[in-house]
């Protein structure tokens, strides 16, 4: 059974960079796409972007200028960096495996990141 676990700081200061890592267990990052999704408090889900195991990426245009998603096949992990954060970036961040064009089939439980000084 594939499992995903998000990790990273729960508090980030405004204007700084949010960094999260998703560790994949029970399966390999090879041959799959991996994605980040977030949910601000009281709001709906927002797709952030995805990375293929080869390193190629696609991002939500609304976040593209601030987002980098990367993969580390040696550690079976992938990561999210979001620069110049504001309070609007406060959200629960989920990582998920993406079957391209079809669905997100495995998700992490999510991690709350709060942007505050």
Which parts of this chain interact with another protein (CB under 8 A)?
4, 43-47, 58, 60-62, 94, 96, 101-110
For residue 103, the minimal CB distance to another protein (Å) is: 4
Between 4 and 115, whose beta carbon lies closer to another protein?
4
Closest CA to 97 of 87, 107, 88: 107
List helix spans (H) across 18-108.
none
Nearer to another protein, 42 or 117 (CB): 42
Minimum distance, C-beta of residue 93 to another protein, in the bound complex (Å): 12
Residues 6+ apart with CB under 8 A from 48: 35, 36, 37, 38, 59, 60, 63, 67, 69, 80, 82, 93
Nearest-approach distance from CB 50 to another protein, in angstroms? 9
């Amino acid at each position: 059974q594939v499992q995903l676990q998000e990790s990273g700081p729960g508090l980030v200061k405004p204007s700084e960079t949010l960094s999260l890592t998703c560790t994949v267990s029970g399966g390999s990052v090879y041959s799959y796409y991996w994605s980040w999704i977030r949910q601000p408090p009281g709001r709906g889900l927002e797709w952030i972007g995805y990375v293929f195991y080869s390193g190629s990426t696609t991002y939500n245009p609304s976040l593209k200028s601030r987002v980098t998603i990367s993969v580390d096949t040696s550690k079976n992990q992938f990561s999210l960096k979001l620069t110049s954060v504001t309070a609007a970036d406060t959200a629960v961040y989920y990582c998920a495996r993406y079957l391209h064009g079809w669905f997100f089939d495995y998700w992490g439980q999510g991690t709350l990141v709060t942007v505050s000084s």
